[in-house]
Amino acid sequence: MSPHKLVTYTFFLFSSFLFIACGNDDETPSDDDQGMTNISFTGDIDWLSTIGGSGEDSGNDIIATGDGGYLLVGTTNSIDGAITDKTTTDNDIWVVKADANGAVVWSKTYGSTQNDQGYAIIAASDGNYVVSGYVSGGDGDVTTFEGFHDYWIIKITPSGDIIWDKSYGFSGSDQAKGIINTNDGGYLVTGFFDVTASEGQGNDAQGNTTSQNTDNTRSSNGVQHGVGDYWAIKLDANGNKEWRNYFGGTNDDRSFDVVQTLDNGYLVVGASESTDFDITDNKGGHDFWIVKVNTIGEKVWTKSFGGSEIDNGYALTATQDGNYLFVGDTRSTGGDITNPLGNADSWAVKFSPSGDLIWQKTNGGALFESARGVTNFNNGTYLVAGSTRSTSGDITQNNGQNDAWVYLLDEEGTLLFEKSIGGSGLDFGITTIKSADNAIVLVGNTESNDGDIVTNAGIKDLLLVKIK
């Protein structure tokens, strides 16, 4: 392993709870327990696994399993290597079980004979797992199919067998991204869909009878809309639809994550480039965009953060102090962005339960950085996962074209720790979780076969790395 930064960042954290984010948990933990643990990061790689075949394989999400291992979800078009149940080179949703050291226990693919994508995985309350993504065909594992792309939700056993699958969509491109458990034992899935192709359908939230929103500001036939709106669907424990609603304007609005709020509503987040209908405070270009939704799917309020250029939001977590942290990237040099660092910066926005900006922070260097995931690590510290091209500013080392990157912020946005991982090729971090021994486990993808990346099975591999 090549030498990296040897500085140890030491800080005290409560050890009485584990709070894993990227939309999977959303309530603020209590402060009842006062046990303290000294946790230090050296930046050393404990182990690193590249998983895949000779094609293109990527990881998008990770959760810990009860045996100390991990379940990973992503996409693969390989038919060899770690992929043992696939014979065609179309993209499939891909789930990998890895042990505590990153070794593959099993690998399974799901989907149709067309191109399908996997994005998120959560642990169900009954010991099974639920995966979200989208499918492009109605054969194979897909029991129903409506159009070009459909939301596809599958429930699987701990060994990867399908329990049920559900498709939701119309004739256009409808792509599920984030999914969470809800307090009533069901699920909330979010992503985006083509309102024009649905001709305004898809807005049957409870209480909505004549239009997409209770303020009746939106056309009911959908013809004025663009190809992307946020689309939130509430499911029961068996994956059956309870309500669904869409939010956005005439341009491209795409949701990637969701959390449930303490009042049992939801914050649905992503990026919007619209300036009309549900978007009332566009800052220019694409903005970070938040939609607060109540328990029956009705819009409560919306909020935009950004500047005059392109600002894309990807992931959200509840913070320890009852607020929220929203991360992504910004190319803006004004508006809400007060300290631009380079061509594009990783950008974190902390806001209150009512959508008021508390603080915002850019991290990165002179080139291009992005954040794709955020995890409530423990008691007021937050792991951000993404990528970097820089060799300056907050980045102490760059291994090649683009590195996977993880960094730690405190409650005030102060940078406590950062680490880049990769080789001479393109490497990306997507999200992180905390391991049982208080280390960082990062999932993403890599095209390198040097530097930190010892082996690569093909064009692109899923990257799994533990950082001490």
List pLDDT tens digits, range 373-429: 999 998 799 999 999 999 999 999 999 999 999 999 999 999 999 999 999 999 999
Per residue in 236-283, pLDDT (tens digit) is 999 999 999 999 999 999 999 999 999 999 999 999 999 999 999 999
pLDDT higher than 60, residue 352? yes
What pLDDT is stored for residue 204 in this prediction?
A: 87
Band of the pLDDT at 34, cuts 50, 70, 90? very low
End-to-end Cα, the chain, rounded Å: 14
Structurally, the chain folds into a number of domains equal to 1
Write the secondary structure of the chain as one string of H (helix), E (strand) and C (coil).
CCCCCCCCEEEEEECCCCCCCCCCCCCCCCCCCCCEEEEEECCCEEEEEEECCCCEEEEEEEEECCCCCEEEEEEECCCCCCCCCCCCCCCEEEEEEECCCCCEEEEEEECCCCCCEEEEEEECCCCCEEEEEEECCCCCCCCCCCCCEEEEEEEECCCCCEEEEEEECCCCECEEEEEEECCCCCEEEEEEECHHHHCCCCCCCCCCCCCCCCCCCCCCCCCCCCCEEEEEEEECCCCCEEEEEEECCCCEEEEEEEEECCCCCEEEEEEECCCCCCCCCCCCCCEEEEEEECCCCCEEEEEEECCCCCEEEEEEEECCCCCEEEEEEECCCCCCCCCCCCCEEEEEEEECCCCCEEEEEEECCCCEEEEEEEEECCCCEEEEEEEECCCCCCCCCCCCCEEEEEEEEECCCCEEEEEEECCCCEEEEEEEEECCCCCEEEEEEECCCCCCCCCCCCCEEEEEEEEC
Least confident of 175-179, 201-205, 294-298: 201-205
Domain assignment present for 278 = yes
What pLDDT is stored for residue 207 in this prediction?
A: 54
Q: Is the dihedral of CA 412, 441, 267, 343 positive or negative?
A: positive
pLDDT higher than 50, residue 10? no
Domain assignment present for 37 = no
Band of the pLDDT at 194, cuts 50, 70, 90? very high
Domain assignment present for 190 = yes
What pLDDT is stored for residue 13 in this prediction?
A: 36
What pLDDT is stored for residue 220 in this prediction?
A: 40
Band of the pLDDT at 41, cuts 50, 70, 90? confident
What pLDDT is stored for residue 405 in this prediction?
A: 98
pLDDT higher than 60, residue 447? yes
Report how far Cα 308 is from the mean position of its chain's Cα atoms.
25
Q: Rounded distance, CA 285 to CA 330, Å? A: 11
What's 245's domain CATH number?
Answer: 2.120.10
What pLDDT is stored for residue 284 in this prediction?
A: 92
What pLDDT is stored for residue 228 in this prediction?
A: 86
Domain assignment present for 60 = yes
Kindly report the average pLDDT of the chain as a whole number: 89
Query: Which has more confidence, 38 or 80?
Result: 80
Report how far Cα 459 is from the mean position of its chain's Cα atoms.
23
Full domain range(s) for residue 192: 45-373
What pLDDT is stored for residue 285 in this prediction?
A: 92
What pLDDT is stored for residue 63 in this prediction?
A: 98
What pLDDT is stored for residue 222 in this prediction?
A: 40
Per residue in 57-111, pLDDT (tens digit) is 999 999 999 999 999 999 999 999 999 999 999 999 999 999 999 999 999 999 9
Q: Which of 128, 179, 180 is nearest to 158 (CA)?
A: 128
Domain assignment present for 416 = no
| % of the chain exceeding 70 in pLDDT | 87
Average pLDDT estimate for 127-135? 98
Domain assignment present for 130 = yes
Least confident of 215-224, 303-312, 426-435: 215-224
Angle at 280 between CA 275 and CA 281, to 5 degrees: 85
Cα-based torsion angle of the residue sequence 341, 347, 352, 356 in order, rounded to the nearest 10 degrees: 60
Domain assignment present for 199 = yes
Determine how β-strand 187-193 pairs with β-strand 229-235.
Answer: antiparallel
Domain assignment present for 201 = yes
What pLDDT is stored for residue 35 in this prediction?
A: 32
pLDDT higher than 90, residue 130? yes
Residues 6+ apart with CB under 8 A from 26: 180, 259, 260, 261, 317, 318
pLDDT higher than 90, residue 327? yes
Q: Which of 173, 116, 168, 113 is nearest to 140 (CA)?
A: 113
Residue 35: other Cβ atoms inside 10 A: 8
Band of the pLDDT at 31, cuts 50, 70, 90? very low
Rg (CA), the chain: 21
